[in-house]
């Protein structure tokens, strides 16, 4: 449970402990304050007292946790948390939720991750898959694009690396964000410059280990197994000019048993990819 909370809130173990402490102490504080205030009314502890107590602690809780969060260094987290709760209950959305973000998925293979991302986008996410970009004719991801009715673009090396990097086409399709999902070519500097902090990738290992040129697919899993690692997983990170080098956004792990092979490890990693990548994309694009 604690691992899931750390991943969901994107915090380390210490901050998670401080957040839980703030919840607990803040809850106790608003309960105490609610009882003291009701004592001033001299009401008997009947139905009306209970109703007023619930109303009071509901109103006092945000203030209580914000006060407690200050000395514990969690004010920023709880400020965002309370604003998010208020937005949901009021039916209002903050300004950054109003725009649907158009993403382009760059892929080279079968497109299983692309398929999951498309599915997620159709379930009410704040992003839309507006273009599928592929560098391999006949790749499965092109069929996925066709079935989903999403425009696709087949690219070639000369124009990608030495020409305009297809930037005019991306701009014509109003692409706001680029998601790499099994895309094997290095992203040229022109695209990185045009989309700063707006290109992300998923790597099938725990970076900084097992990254770099040539570290993709089964090559990664074989290296992990050959080195007798006890765990592997996925890393979602921003893309810069160096392979698998950009700032890490999220990681999830899986344990490796003695009898696991590169094939069984690949299956476990695929599960993590499909579970987490669409959710992290939804969070990052906002």
Q: Is the pLDDT of residue 99 over 80?
A: no
* 3 state SS of 15: helix
More confident residue, 255 or 16: 255
Task: Report if pTM > 0.85.
Answer: no
**Hey, which residues does 237 pair with through a beta bridge?**
201, 248
Under 8 Å between Cβ of 281 and 123: no
The residue behind tokens 């001299």 is 42
Q: Is the pLDDT of residue 182 over 70?
A: yes
Q: 14-23, 80-89, 271-280 — which one is most confidently predicted on average?
A: 271-280
Measured distance CA(106)–CA(125) in Å, rounded? 19
Rg (CA), the chain: 24
Single out the residue of 274, 252, 280 nearest to residue 3, CA to CA.
252
More confident residue, 177 or 88: 177
Measured distance CA(186)–CA(136) in Å, rounded? 14
Strands (DSSP E) along the chain, which ranges? Answer: 101-107, 127-134, 152-154, 177-180, 199-203, 231-238, 248-255
Share of the chain above pLDDT 70, in %: 94
Order of strands across the sheet with 231-238?
152-154, 127-134, 101-107, 177-180, 199-203, 231-238, 248-255
pLDDT band for position 5 (cuts 50, 70, 90): confident
210 CB-near residues (< 8 Å, 6+ apart): 220, 223, 224, 232
Question: What pLDDT, on a 0 to 100 scale, did the predictor assign at position 123?
Answer: 73
Average pLDDT over residues 257-265: 95
Single out the residue of 241, 237, 135 nearest to residue 190, CA to CA.
241
Q: Is the pLDDT of residue 191 over 60?
A: yes
The 10s digit of each residue's pLDDT in 53-97 is 999 999 998 899 899 999 888 887 888 788 878 777 766 554 444
Question: What pLDDT, on a 0 to 100 scale, did the predictor assign at position 97?
Answer: 46
**Which CATH number is correct for 99-285, 3.40.50.170, 3.40.50.720, 1.10.10.10, 3.30.200.20?**
3.40.50.170
**Phi, psi (degrees; rounded to nearest 5) at 275:** -75, -40
What residues does each domain of the chain span? 11-90, 99-285
* 3 state SS of 11: coil
Measured distance CA(27)–CA(15) in Å, rounded? 18
**Residues forming the active site:** 203
Question: What pLDDT, on a 0 to 100 scale, did the predictor assign at position 95?
Answer: 46
Question: What pLDDT, on a 0 to 100 scale, did the predictor assign at position 90?
Answer: 65
């Amino acid at each position: 449970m604690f691992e899931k909370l750390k991943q969901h809130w994107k915090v380390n173990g210490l901050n998670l402990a401080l957040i839980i402490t703030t919840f607990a102490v803040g809850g106790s504080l608003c309960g105490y304050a609610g009882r003291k205030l009701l004592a001033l009314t001299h009401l008997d502890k009947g139905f009306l007292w209970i109703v007023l107590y619930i109303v009071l602690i509901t109103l006092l809780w945000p203030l209580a946790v914000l006060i407690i969060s200050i000395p514990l260094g969690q004010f920023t987290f709880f400020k965002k948390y309370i604003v998010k709760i208020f937005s949901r209950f009021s039916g209002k959305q903050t300004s950054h939720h109003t725009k649907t973000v158009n993403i382009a998925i760059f892929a080279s293979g079968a497109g299983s991750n692309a398929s999951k991302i498309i599915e997620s986008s159709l379930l009410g996410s704040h992003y839309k898959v507006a273009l599928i970009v592929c560098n391999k004719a006949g790749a499965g991801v092109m069929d996925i694009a066709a079935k989903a009715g999403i425009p696709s673009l087949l690219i070639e090396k000369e124009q990608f690396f030495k020409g305009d990097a297809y930037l005019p086409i991306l701009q014509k399709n109003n692409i706001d964000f680029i998601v790499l999902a099994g895309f094997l070519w290095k992203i040229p500097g022109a695209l990185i410059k045009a989309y700063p902090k707006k290109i992300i990738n998923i790597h099938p290992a725990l970076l900084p280990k097992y990254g770099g040129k040539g570290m993709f697919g089964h090559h990664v899993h074989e290296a992990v197994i050959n080195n007798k690692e006890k765990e592997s997983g996925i890393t979602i990170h921003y893309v810069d000019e160096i392979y698998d080098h950009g700032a890490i956004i999220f990681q999830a792990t899986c344990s490796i048993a003695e009898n696991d092979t590169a094939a069984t490890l690949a299956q476990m990693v695929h599960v993590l990819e499909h579970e987490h990548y669409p959710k992290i994309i939804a969070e990052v694009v906002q």
